[in-house]
Copies of this chain bind each other. A is one copy, B any other.
Amino acid sequence: EGYPILHGEGEDEAFGIEDCRVAFIEDTYYLTFTAVSSHGVGVGMRTTKDWKTFEKHGMIIPPHNKDCAIFEEKINGMFYALHRPSSVDLGGNYIWIAQSPDGIHWGQNKCIVKTRKDKWDSKRVGAGAAPIRTAKGWLAIYHGANENHEYCLGAFLMDLNDPIKVIAQTDGPIMKPQEKYELEGFFGQVVFTNGHIINGDELTIYYGAADEFVCAAKLSINEILAQLSAVRK
């Protein structure tokens, strides 16, 4: 009751806002979402403390960009976020990391996870919800898709003190579309997440199935960590 519906506002959100991630840092919720308009597709941000009043911070990352997940702790005094630019020629649909002194202005962009040829994540990768702090590092759940637009979920691990360093990544997916409601729908063969709840070792992933249904799946964080393989640089 009294909680407003969030919708696109202004020129740069004219076609809407979507795929919102929420990061809770100190006393503030940071909402990052895809802002869509004829100007392009970028990452918009609003913040709130009470889900009743929201402060707008404009487009924090310019086009073409999606899948922005802010870390829920500052690291060495800086905010960190994963994001996903798309390139018109060189480059691809890769996961990048950026830093910010205030959560609003971002820089030090670095490419950290690329698509992998001939694997399930050969065409595009993008972060899910806020990375999860574990004893071994920051664990990110991400979506990957192949040339046939089959979307699965995988995971990678970043250094706790310097998340630009990717330590490990799952070789195969940790979750893939297999139920009827995941295989058939508005956009079939898709599991896609941008929210979760952590309760000890139990990770409840909220995910979209076939771009049509909202589902939940419970996974063990330790079992995900056990599936990671070291990344060699």
Contacts and interface: CB of A to CB of B under 8 A. Distances in A.
Contacts of A104: 107-108
Contacts of A85: 40, 42, 62-64
B64 A107 contact: no
Q: Is the interface of A mostly helix, strand, loop or mixed?
A: strand
A91 interface: yes
Interface in A32-89: 36-42, 57-65, 83, 85-89
Interface stretch (A94-102, A128-136, A185-193): A94-102
B65 A111 contact: no
A90 interface: yes
A126 to B, nearest CB: 14
Interface in A1-29: 11-12, 15
A218 interface: no
Contact of A91 (B58, B63, B90, B108): B63
Contacts of A119: none
A16 to B, nearest CB: 11
A41 B88 CA distance: 9
A110 interface: yes
Given A65-B62, A85-B62, A106 B106 contact: yes
Contacts of A36: 90
A85 B62 CA distance: 7
Nearest to A15: B90
Given A37-B90, A42-B109, A62 B101 contact: no
A165 interface: no
Contacts of A116: none
Return the 3 tightest CB-CB contacts between A and B, nearest first: A40-B91, A105-B105, A39-B111
12 contacts: A12-B111, A36-B90, A40-B111, A58-B108, A58-B109, A60-B108, A62-B65, A62-B83, A62-B85, A101-B101, A105-B108, A106-B106
Given A40-B87, A62-B85, A63-B85, 4 more contacts: A12-B110, A57-B108, A58-B109, A87-B88
